[in-house]
Chain A
Amino acid sequence: MARLRSLTEAIFATAAGPPPAARVDWVVAEVEDVLAHAGAQMRWTMAAATLVIVWIAPLFVGRLGSLASLPFRERVRALAALEASALGGPVLAVKALLCILYYEHPDAAAEVGFDAECLGLPSPAALGPAAGAEGVA
């Protein structure tokens, strides 16, 4: 949970910082639910990929320890460096799943100009009172 959270915050960070906390919570919960429906092979692959990223990425910015322990901007830099390297596969895999869910959040979809009416994207209200809350920018 904490690992996925730190990855979500870094991947979708803007100049203002990580996305709103409520949105990150929502994405993390959705990822866990999708994985509960996926096969054991995929659950294992995702767990392994996340583990690799969390411990290997810091090495790419000359740091030891877990990704979550890095200052926020360093975290983004470390992930970007790992993604661009020959070892980038795990980042691409986890990012793919996170992206599918992240851009289903109506605010995230709106931010990238996606406005298809019939893809069933929920209204912010349907996601609960916290969903539209400000993040930790």
Chain B
Amino acid sequence: MSAPEAELWGLEPAARKARVAELHSGIVHGRDVSGDLELEADTLVIGSGAGGAVVACHLAEAGERVVVVEEGEHVPPAEQAQLRPSESLRRLWIDAGLAFALPLGDTPAINVMMGRAVGGSSVLTGGVCFRIPGRVLREWSGEMGLHDYTEARLDAAHLDVERAVHVEEVPESMRSRSTTRFVDGARRLGVEVHPIRRNTVDCRGCGRCNFGCPEQAKLSVDQTYLPRALAAGAQVLSDCRVESLVVRGARVDGCWGHLLRGPERPPGGVFRVRARRTVVSGGAYGSPVLLGRSGIGRRSGQVGRNMTVHPAFRVMARFRDPIRGWQGALQSAYSEAYEADNVTLTGLFVPPGVLAATMPGVGREHVARARDIPHLAIFGGMVHDQGGGHVFEVFGRRAMTYRMAPRDKAAVPVLMRRMAEIFFAAGAEEVFLPVLGLGGVDADRMRTLDLERVRGRDLESGSQHPLGTCRMGVDPKASVVGPDGAAWDVKDLFVVDGSILPTSLGVNPQLSIMTVATHLAWKLRERRPRG
């Protein structure tokens, strides 16, 4: 591997963009392939997101013949930059960003957002990067017996990823006024807030990270690991939906699927990849369905279960003076002050339509409220949840349910109250809590609200972090893959993505997933495929 490939981000912006474009031109678009397709590989990687891209890169750089098949489109960065948010939803997000986990029990209907594109969800992140927290690793390596997963043993992999995607701290100068207000309020109350680290280079703080970075400043895997994989000879195919793994006797021998032709047209030809080793990296929504369809994982009954999502809740605040929160880095500060309550707070911003959607009223009342958009600040909180989600297939369609644990439900009022207090300390005139139909709440009314009694179904919640549906463990009866990512039920099959994380993290997961993927890819590299 030549140095420029490993550290593309070190190039001048124009040279970097040109090199990435040159390498991206090697991506084969399944929709342009006429007829059927047959390929062979040492390692087949299904899914090109945070997990899949990392594995593909390391194995291709080790000299293996790697094929990556991705269901989503390849939308080149220059084209992404032209998309309106809702166009991005249509082209790059699963179900146009409108997938919901059906609530069971006292649970909100959670809008679970995920990517479906070359680069997977990585393309849609705010760039936030956290290492796997020490307390989480202690649980994995201690109680769960995953001895390789300690801070010390993962340090090299953490460092490798941080270098590859250029993790840097967001300077205070790049903070939006929305975040600055929150930080001011937090300081007044003595609540600690820290700068966030992000995978960016030359970021100019335009705040559209979730819809594709127009500057290619966000170093998602399509800007880093996938170009490296391509440079090392990997074949990357978009618009290829894997329908099933091919199981022969006790081993997996690759996959077959359909070449997609876009949402309005039926699938085209069939593709088949024969591989000595198959790595499933379809994400927490895609991987369990693929395993289930292929009849894998029935023994443990764990496939698709144990989904955690980090249920997230936004609190907005209206200030007298303009905030214009869309100016500045999308996410730049966070607080772990409420970790004991299983809550992490992080800055964010959302497009005006999403802000307006939360405004009560219809007609004149709504329009008057919508004119407050430039005066709104916003901050988010997520719950380090215990899980209770399930991904499955019904009548050939993917679906998910989520039952919120009582402990997690109890964290929601804490989160809302703390964020509201911080905003009021910063001078907010009213706050908008994520309670459907509640409307604006001033400081006096806030004190009287009985938030503990708000029913789950009245809460507005989103998630960008589904995890754990093919969890890793040491007991084949209670997990889908072992500590090395190998499926318990069949040979030559590995799962490497967010679905194998055995618990939620309490922090944004991309860096954790890439670190685990690096750790496993290094192991796979030593264990050349059979045959």
- Cβ of B105 under 8 Å from chain A: no
Q: Which of chain A's residues has its CB closest to B262's CB? A: A37
Q: How far is the CA of A120 from the CA of B207 in the complex (A)?
A: 12
Interface presence of A119 (CB below 8 A) = yes
Give B345-379 interface residues, CB cut-off 8 Å to A: 351-354, 356-357, 360-367, 370-371, 373-374
Is the Cβ of B81 less than 8 Å from the Cβ of A120?
yes
Known contacts A39-B397, A120-B81; A114/B360 CB under 8 A: no
CA distance A112 to B355 in the complex (A): 11
CB distance from A85 to the nearest CB of B (A): 9
Q: What per-residue 1/0 map shows which CB atoms of B256-299 lie under 8 Å from chain A? A: 00000001100000000000000000000000000000000000
Instruction: Please tell me if the beta carbons of B214 and A112 are within 8 angstroms of each other in the complex.
Output: no
Bound Cα distance from A119 to B214, whole angstroms: 9
Asked if B206 is an interface residue, CB under 8 A from chain A, the answer is yes
B374's contact among A33, A34, A113, A118, by CB below 8 Å, is which? A113
- Whether B90 is near chain A, meaning CB under 8 Å from some CB there, is yes
CA distance A114 to B325 in the complex (A): 10
Q: How far is the CB of A88 from chain B (nearest CB, A)?
A: 5
Once A34-B96, A100-B351, A117-B206 are accepted as A-B contacts, the answer to whether A11 and B366 lie under 8 Å apart by CB is yes
Most buried by B among A34, A95, A100: A100
* Contact A37 B371, beta carbon cutoff 8 Å: no
In contact, B357 and A76 (Cβ under 8 angstroms): no
Distance in angstroms between the alpha carbons of A83 and B363 in the assembled complex? 12
Q: Give the CA-CA distance A5 to B235 in the complex, in Å.
A: 46
Q: Mark A79-113, 1 if CB is under 8 A from B, else 0.
A: 11001100011011001110111111000010111
The residue in chain B whose Cβ has the minimal distance to the Cβ of A16 is B364
Q: Provided the pairs A39-B95, A84-B437, A118-B208 are in contact, do residues A103 and B90 lie with their beta carbons within 8 angstroms?
A: no
**Given A84-B437, A114-B352, are A122 and B374 neighbors across the interface (CB < 8 Å)?**
no
> In the assembled complex, which residues on chain A have CB atoms less than 8 Å from the CB atom of B98?
34, 38-39, 42, 97
A interface, size bucket: 35 or more
Residues 369-392 of B, flagged 1 when their CB comes within 8 A of A and 0 if not, give 011011000000000000000000
Task: Decide yes or no: A37 and B357 within 8 Å by CB, A14-B364, A120-B84, A120-B211 being known contacts.
Answer: no
| A116 interface residue per 8 A CB criterion | yes
B86 in the interface (beta carbon within 8 A): yes
In residues 25-39 of chain A, which contact B (Cβ within 8 Å)? Answer: 30, 33-39
Inter-chain contacts of B374 with A (CB < 8 A): 112-114
Nearest B-chain residue to A36, judged by Cβ: B263
Asked whether any CB of chain B lies closer than 8 Å to the CB of A13, the reply is yes
Total A-B residue contacts, Cβ distance less than 8 Å:
148
Q: Chain A binding site: helix, strand, loop or mixed by DSSP?
A: helix
Q: How far is the CA of A83 from the CA of B438 in the complex (A)?
A: 11
Docked Cα-Cα span, A13 to B370, in Å, equals 12
CB distance from A35 to the nearest CB of B (A): 8
User: For B96, B98, B374, B436, which residue has the most chain A Cβ atoms within 10 angstroms?
Assistant: B98
Residue pair B84, A99 in contact (C-beta under 8 Å): no
Residues from chain B with a CB closer than 8 A to the CB of A109 are 352
The residue on B at minimum CB distance from A57 is B362
What's the Cα separation between A16 and B361 when bound, in Å? 17
B82 at the interface (CB under 8 A from A): yes
Q: Contact: A34 with B363, CB < 8 Å?
A: no
Question: Considering the complex, which residues of chain B in the window 192-250 have a beta carbon less than 8 Å from any beta carbon of chain A?
Answer: 206-208, 211, 214
A125 contact set on B, CB distance < 8 A = none
Question: B436, A92: Cβ atoms under 8 Å?
Answer: yes
Q: Is B399 an interface residue (CB 8 A)?
A: yes
A114 and B326 form a contact (CB under 8 A) = yes
- A11-B362, A80-B365 known; A99 vs B353 contact (CB < 8 Å): yes
Contacts of A15 in B (CB 8 A): 364
B361 touches A100 (CB 8 A): no
Determine whether the beta carbon of A42 is less than 8 Å from that of B353.
no
Q: Tell me, in angstroms, the Cα distance from A92 to B359 when the chains sit together.
A: 10
Residues of A within 8 A of B99 (CB): 39, 41-42
Interface check A121, CB cutoff 8 A: yes
Kindly state whether residue B87 has any CB partner on chain A within 8 Å: yes
Q: Evaluate contact between B373 and A12: CB separation under 8 angstroms.
A: no
The answer to the question of A2 belonging to the interface, with a C-beta cut-off of 8 Å to chain B, is: no
A40 to B85, CA, bound (A): 21
Cα separation A114 to B374 with both chains bound (whole Å):
7
Q: Is B327 an interface residue (CB 8 A)?
A: yes
Distance of B97 from chain A, by nearest CB (Å): 8
* Complex alpha-carbon distance, A80 and B264, angstroms: 36
What's the nearest-Cβ distance from chain B to residue A65, in Å?
A: 19
- A121 B84 Cβ-Cβ under 8 A: yes
Q: How far apart are the CA atoms of A36 and B370 in the complex, in Å?
A: 27
CA distance A37 to B211 in the complex (A): 16
B100 at the interface (CB under 8 A from A): yes
A103 touching B356, Cβ below 8 Å: yes
Verify A89–B354 contact, CB threshold 8 A: no
List B residues at the A interface (Cβ < 8 Å): 81-87, 89-91, 95-96, 98-100, 206-208, 211, 214, 263-264, 322, 326-327, 351-354, 356-357, 360-367, 370-371, 373-374, 397-399, 436-437
A residues bordering B, Cβ < 8 Å?
A: 10-15, 30, 33-42, 45, 76, 79-80, 83-84, 88-89, 91-92, 95-97, 99-104, 109, 111-114, 116-122
12 contacts between A and B (CB under 8 A): A33-B90, A38-B96, A80-B361, A83-B360, A83-B437, A89-B436, A92-B437, A112-B373, A116-B326, A119-B351, A120-B81, A120-B82
4 more A-B contacts (CB under 8 A) besides A102-B356, A103-B370?
A83-B362, A100-B354, A101-B353, A114-B374
